[in-house]
Structure 1
Amino acid sequence: MSGKATDKETQLIIEQAALLAENLKIKKILVVCESLSLWKALLPHYADYQFIIVLSNKKMAESITVETFLCDFNGITRRDRLDYILRSAVEAEKIKKGERILCLFSLSGQKLLDTIRVQRIQEYYGPISPHDLKRISKTIPVDLLFLVVNLAIEIGQEGREGLPVGTIFVVGDTEKVLELSKPMIFNPFKGYGPEETNIFDNKVQESVKELTLIDGAFIIREDGVVLSAGRFLHAGAGKSSPMRGLGARHAAALAISHHTKGVAITVSESTGTVRIFSGGKSVRTIRAFRPPAHIHKKS
C-alpha cells in the first residue's frame, strides 16, 4: 500500500469519525497521534470537537500548538495501548468515568489511523490494567505480567475439574529463583524447546491450568518461557513483612519476591483471591468472583 493511499484512508476515517461523533452526539474524540501529518489532517475538525491528542514523542509535542497528553508506551503492546491510554487519561482527569468518547488509533503498527472505537468510560478495564502492572516491575515486560495475572484470575475463578485450586507463579529473575527453590516433582516442561513452552501460546496456558492440580510454583522467564512447575520455594522470610492470617503459599511468595527481583503471583485455593508480591510486599489483591455451585456455563 502506498503512502498516498494510506493518507487518503486516514482522511476518510477522520471524516467518518466526525460524522459518527455528530450522529451520536459525542463531543470528545481521543486520537493516538503518531505523526505530524496525522495532526495536520485533524486540524480542519479541531474547532468542532474536544480532542485529546495522545503522543508518545516529546519532540512531536513541541511541534503541536494545542494541549497534548503524553503516554510512555515502552513495554506496552499495541493491542493493550488503548486500555493503558484510557486508564491514564482517567487518572489524569482528561476524561471521566461515565463519559462516552470516540477513539481513533492504529492497530496495524502504521503511523496513521485504521481503527475507530466508541468507548464508554466505565470499569471496563477489568480487575487490573497494564498501567497498574507497569508500576510493579521495571524489568519484566508488562504484557507478560498482564497475561500471567489474568491467567491467575481465571484459575481463581474457575478452578480445575470442578474443584478450587491454589498455585504460585514466579515471573522474572529465574536464575536466582531456581537457586532458591527445588523440584517437588519431575519437571513437566523439561526437554521441550522455548517455542513449545511459552506462556503466550494458548496451548501452554491450558497445560499450566491442568498442572495447577499439583503443588508447587511455576517459574516463568522474562520472555514468557515456562521453565518449571512444581517447585518448592525455600527462600527465608528475611526482612519481608509477615502477612497475618495467610498460609504457607503466600509466605513463600512474599519471601521469594524479597530475595529476588521476580514478581510472585498467588491464587488462594480457599477464596480464589489473587495476590501480587514484589520487593517483599503484597502490592495488589484481586478478589475472585466464583459463580454459585448451581450456575454452570453453557458449553
Structure 2
Amino acid sequence: MATQTSQSGKPDVPHGAVEQTGARTITAALLRHVGTLAKACGATAIFVYVDALHDEPLPLPESLKQRVYYVTKTPAQEQHETERGGRCLRVPNVALSRMGQVKIAIFLALSRGLIRRGDRVVFLSGLGGSGELDMVLIIEVGREYEMFCPDTADATDCPDVQPQVLSRVIDIASELGSEGREGKPVGALFIVGDTEHVLPLTRQLILNPFAGYPAEKRNILDESLTETIKELATIDGAFIVHADGTIESCGTYLKTASQKEFELPQGLGARHHAAAAITSVTRCLAVTVSESTGTVTVFRNGAIVTDIERPRSLGRRVSPGLAKSE
C-alpha cells in the first residue's frame, strides 16, 4: 500500500494515531514522575484509575507497588488486577466525574482503614476506556472541604459497620442516583449501623416488607436483592440496615423532628436533614440519594462526610461495559 505524504514530503500520520501516541506519551510521563511526586509529598498511597487504561501492566517501580491501589468499576478488572498481585478498590459502575472518582475511592479507602485523616495521597485518573491517564491530584485527606468536611474526615470510623456493607450501600445508592427507577428519578435514604439506638427513634410508615424473613434472606450483600431494594426505594421512608448488612426495614420514618436544625447546604431537603439528625444522636452512617440531582451524600455525626455528584453527559464514547466519566 502506498503511503500518503504531505506537501512537505513527510508521510501523513492518521489523526487517530497521533491522538493515541499523545495519550501514551502523557501516561508514560505521569507514571515516570509519580514516584518523585509521591516521595516529595510523603504520600502514603497512590491510587490509579485503571479503567482509563487498556489492559496492560503498569510499569511502576517495585518501591511504589506496595503503596498502589488500582481503582476500577468492574468485578472482572478487579479480579484481573488481583491475579496480577495488585490491590484493588472497586467503585460503583456508574457515571463519575473526575472528582467523583477521587471522592468515592478515597471515602472507601478511609472506611476500610487503608488511609487516615492527614495522609497525603496521589491520584492518577483519566477518562474510562480512553487509554490514557491525564490527571494527577495530590490530596491531604481531610484538608479540603470540597473533598471531605474537615471536622468529619475521619468520621467514617463506625467500628461495627463492615466495610463491604458500606461499599454495597454506596453502590446501590449511586446506581439509583444515576439511573433512577424505570426512567424516573428516585430519592432514597439508607441508615447503616447502630440499629440498637436507631430503632427506638423510628416507626413504620407501611407494613415492613422485610418482616418475617430470616436474616440471611434479607442481607444487602446478597446481589439477588438489588432490584427489590431499588423498587422499594420508591416508597417514602428510610432503609434501616444492620452493621452486618441485614436489612431491618424499609418505609421507615425517623422520629428526630425535635432535634436541632442543621446547617446544611442550600437545596437539601427533609431527607438530608433527617440523615443529619439521626447521625447526630446515634453512631450510624446515613447515605442519601437526592431525587432532584442524583447526588449521593454520606452523613456521620450530624454532618456531611462527602458527596458524589452525578456528572453531566458530554456525549463521549467509552469502552463497552463501563459507565461514562466526565
The alignment's TM-score, normalised by the length of structure 1, stands at 0.58
Listed as ranges, the matches of 1:171-250 within 5 Å are: 171-236=192-257, 238-239=259-260, 241-243=262-264, 244-250=266-272
Of 65, 81, 97, the match for 2:124: 97
User: Per the alignment, in what secondary structure is the counterpart of residue 64 of structure 2?
Assistant: strand
* Mapping of residues 1-150 of structure 1, within 5 Å: 49-52=61-64, 54=66, 81-83=87-89, 84=109, 92=120, 97=124, 135-139=155-159, 140-150=161-171
Query: Structure 2: how far apart are the matches of 1:290 and 1:217?
Result: 27
| 8 Å Cα contact 2:155-2:301 kept in structure 1 | no
1:209 counterpart letter in structure 2: K
The residue aligned with 1:267 is 289
Secondary structure of 1:264 counterpart:
strand
Shift of 1:173: 0.8
Letter in 1 for 2:158: K
| Structure 1 residue 135: Cα displacement | 5.0
Query: Structure 2: which amino acid aligns with 1:97?
Result: L
Paired residue total: 209
Other structure's SS at 2:235 match: coil
Q: Can you give the 5+ residue segments of structure 1 that lack an aligned partner in the other structure?
A: 1-23, 30-47, 55-68, 72-77, 100-117, 293-297
Offset of residue 88 of structure 1: 5.3
Q: Check 1:49–1:266 CA distance in 2 against 1; reply closer, same or farther (3 A cut).
A: closer
CA distance in 1, matches of 2:252, 2:177: 20
Which structure 1 residue ranges, 4+ long, deviate > 6 Å from structure 2?
24-29
1:239 deviates by 4.5
Q: How far apart, in 1, do the equivalents of 2:230 and 2:187 lie?
A: 11
Counterpart position of 2:143: none
- Residue 168, structure 1, aligned to residue 195, structure 2: no
Matched letter for residue 238 of structure 1: Q
Partner of 1:51, secondary structure, is helix
Match of 1:114 in 2: none
2:98 maps to none
Any gaps of 5 or more consecutive residues in structure 2?
1-27, 36-59, 70-78, 90-108, 137-146, 315-319, 322-326
Give the TM-score, by structure 2 length: 0.53
Shift of 1:164: 0.6
Tell me if the contact between 2:158 and 2:284 (Cα under 8 Å) persists in the aligned partners.
Answer: no
Q: State the shift of 1:136 in Å.
A: 1.4
Q: Which residue identity is paired with 1:224?
A: G
Ranked by relative contact order (alpha carbons within 8 Å, sequence separation 6 or more), the top structure is 2
Q: CA RMSD, aligned part only?
A: 4.2
In structure 2, what is the Cα distance between the partners aligned to 1:240 and 1:284? 19
**Counterparts of 1:287 and 1:220, CA distance in 2:** 23
- Measured against aligned partners, the alpha-carbon deviations of 1:114-142 in whole angstroms (never above 9, x if no partner) come to xxxx996968xxxx9xxx99751332222
